[in-house]
Amino acid sequence: MSEHGTSVVGVGEFGLIDRVTARLSYGSTVLLGPGDDAAVVAASDARVVASTDVLVEGRHFRRDWSGARDIGHRAAAANLADVAAMGARPTALLVALCMPADLAIAWAEELADGLAAEAATVGASVVGGDMSSSPTLTIAVTALGDLGGRAPVTRAGARPGDVVALAGRTGYAAAGLTVLSRGFRTPRLLVEAYRRPEVPYAAGPQAADAGATAMIDVSDGLLADLGHVARASGVAMDVRRDAFEVPRQMRDAAQALGVDPYTWLLAGGEDHALAATFPPAVPLPEGWRPVGEVTPGSGVTVDGRPWEGAAGWDHFR
């Protein structure tokens, strides 16, 4: 049997763990890496930020739409962005991988490569995990992070008069997903944005340092996620459509597919942009741009009116 054709059942759980961990490397925050009952990770200010996200095949990814490495990047990004959205720097990932027994080893190895490569972009490492066979390919990732003495930026601190600002892109990944779901493979810009989100990780701690009053990772769609912040903060928000540029490829795809591109920009998740609120007197840090404002009341409006387009994502609906 060819090496590429060897399935995970062929090498067994411990064999696969050995093969995957042999591909990993560890940053300076890793005090004890994989191979023991647990890992030990530095937490410089005596606090650790922790978040878990799970990806289920058919629901969060499809193997015919994304390669294993892409899926690793995406699974890591979803979790690392949550840590950044608290104002922290990610330090470590732990990964629980449930796989059909006939999955090729190479697939699991490439997934690990993608997870590790995405983590490495922020100096974080894959420090542990677990593997099991399962009828449903499932990737549960936990990210740890270090606030470095900063106060965590929660969803609850936005105040009327604050500026609503965005770091990173929205709508690209949603557009790419729509393109793939209609059976196309281009525009490449959009499809690649879906496969490997470009997350502005550093913008999280920078926003915290600049005095952001609230922050969130945009994973359910901008309006839905701003809705979480508005609810937690007891405020309303208004977003300006003209703060969003529709890139040419997105406009073309929208026209070809009969979609309003603002549905992607305002309600599409999975780019893992960061949204935050800043006091009006604060100069926005590099990479952040204003997209709206915080007002008294409740709910999120677009140009002063309720949004009539598609809402955000609910993983049970």
Binding site, annotated residues: 37, 51-53, 60, 82, 129-130, 155, 217, 219-220, 270, 313
Separation of alpha carbons 145 and 5, rounded Å: 37
CB 36, min distance to a second copy, A: 5
102 or 286: whose CB is closer to a second copy? Answer: 102
Question: Is the peptide bond between 100 and the residue preceding it cis, with omega within 30 degrees of 0?
Answer: no
Query: Annotated binding site for ATP: which residue ranges?
Result: 129-130, 155, 219
DSSP 127-141: EEEEEEE-SS-EEEE
- Burial of 183 (C-beta count, 10 Å sphere; 0-12/13-18/19+): exposed
CB 95, min distance to a second copy, A: 7
101 or 256: whose CB is closer to a second copy? Answer: 101
Query: Annotated binding site for substrate: which residue ranges?
Result: 60, 270, 313
47 or 240: whose CB is closer to a second copy? Answer: 47
DSSP state at residue 241: G
Q: What are the tokens at 156? A: 């609850």
Other Cβ atoms less than 10 A from the Cβ of 314: the count is 8
Q: Name which of 78, 269, 272 is nearest 174 in CA terms.
A: 269
54 or 117: whose CB is closer to a second copy? Answer: 54
CB 272 within 8 A of CB 197: yes
209 or 303: whose CB is closer to a second copy? Answer: 209
CB 233, min distance to a second copy, A: 12
Sign of CA dihedral 123, 106, 271, 186: positive
CB 58, min distance to a second copy, A: 8
CB 35, min distance to a second copy, A: 7
